[in-house]
């Protein structure tokens, strides 16, 4: 007797029926960034300006004067050329005298003395322990190293000794200066009198040619 046959039934889809296909998801759109992108050539000037402003504010906060004298100036009569530093120191020397009510002769003597001693520069060195505009020596009682390198203090100490010198306002300039400074070159101060007279007058009348 033959073995029984296995019948496999295959179900056909009804006519007209369509196969369902899975719905495709739409890709998500990336949002565009609203941040402004600047190239280095565009942003570095902004940074530079900001740094300059910050430095300026910090400088003013310290109470320092941002205007540093740099221009040179030639006195027409004597022909002496002074730097901005020398002019600033000369102004300080003159101002200290004016504040004390001293006559212009005191300013002339002080300017000539400082010109000989330091060329009107606030030196941090000198013969032995001499320092500052007038090359004053701390070891000789003129003050501490920091004090004698303060132009206003140094000028004040010079005037303290000047007014005690007999006949300082009528005496020969180099003799008066030597009586205070006790230099190894007592006649050296005299050659600066013409310049000192011209500079003192220009400072008093705010008439510097620069």
pLDDT tens digits, 80-132:
999 999 999 999 999 999 999 999 999 999 999 999 999 999 999 877 889 99
Domain membership flag for residue 29: no
Domain membership flag for residue 12: no
Domain membership flag for residue 182: yes
86, 151 in Cβ contact below 8 A? Answer: no
| Helix, strand, coil distribution of the chain in percent, nearest 5 | 45, 5, 50
CA distance 133 to 152: 10
What pLDDT does residue 71 have? 81
pLDDT bracket for residue 57 (50, 70, 90):
very low
Whether the predicted pLDDT of 139 surpasses 90: yes
Q: What angle do CA 116, 201, 196 make, to 5 degrees?
A: 10
Domain membership flag for residue 153: yes
CA distance 101 to 169: 14
Domain membership flag for residue 2: no
Domain membership flag for residue 9: no
Whether the predicted pLDDT of 59 surpasses 90: no
**What is the DSSP secondary structure assignment for residue 74, as one 8-state letter?**
E
197, 108 in Cβ contact below 8 A? Answer: yes
Question: Phi and psi (nearest 5°) for 88?
Answer: -60, -40
pLDDT tens digits, 157-186:
999 999 999 999 999 999 999 999 999 999
**Quick one: CA dihedral 50, 53, 59, 65, positive or negative?**
positive
Domain membership flag for residue 150: yes
Question: Phi and psi (nearest 5°) for 42?
Answer: -95, -35
Domain count, the chain: 1
Q: Residue 187, exposed/middle/buried by CB under 10 A (0-12, 13-18, 19+)?
A: exposed
Rounded mean pLDDT of 18-32?
56
Domain membership of residue 157 as a residue range: 73-204
Q: Select from 143, 138, 113, 142 the least CA-distant residue to 128.
A: 138
Domain membership flag for residue 95: yes
């Amino acid at each position: 007797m033959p073995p029984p046959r296995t019948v496999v039934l295959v179900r056909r889809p009804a006519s007209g029926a369509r196969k369902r296909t899975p719905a495709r998801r739409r890709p998500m759109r990336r949002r565009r960034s609203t941040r402004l992108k600047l190239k280095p050539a565009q942003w570095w000037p902004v940074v530079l300006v900001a740094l300059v402003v910050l430095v300026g504010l910090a400088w003013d906060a310290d109470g320092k004067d941002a205007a540093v004298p740099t221009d040179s100036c030639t006195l027409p009569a004597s022909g002496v050329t002074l730097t901005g530093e020398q002019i600033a120191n000369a102004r300080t020397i003159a101002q200290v005298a004016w504040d004390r009510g001293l006559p212009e002769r005191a300013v002339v003597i002080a300017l000539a003395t400082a010109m000989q001693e330091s060329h009107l520069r606030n030196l941090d060195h000198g013969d032995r322990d001499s320092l500052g505009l007038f090359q004053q020596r701390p070891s000789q009682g003129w003050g501490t190293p920091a004090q004698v390198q303060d132009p206003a203090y140094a000028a004040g100490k010079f005037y303290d000794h000047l007014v005690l010198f007999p006949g300082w306002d009528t005496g020969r300039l180099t003799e008066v200066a030597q009586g205070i400074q006790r230099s190894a070159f007592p006649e050296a101060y005299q050659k600066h009198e013409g310049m000192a007279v011209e500079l003192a007058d220009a400072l008093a009348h705010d008439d510097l040619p620069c």
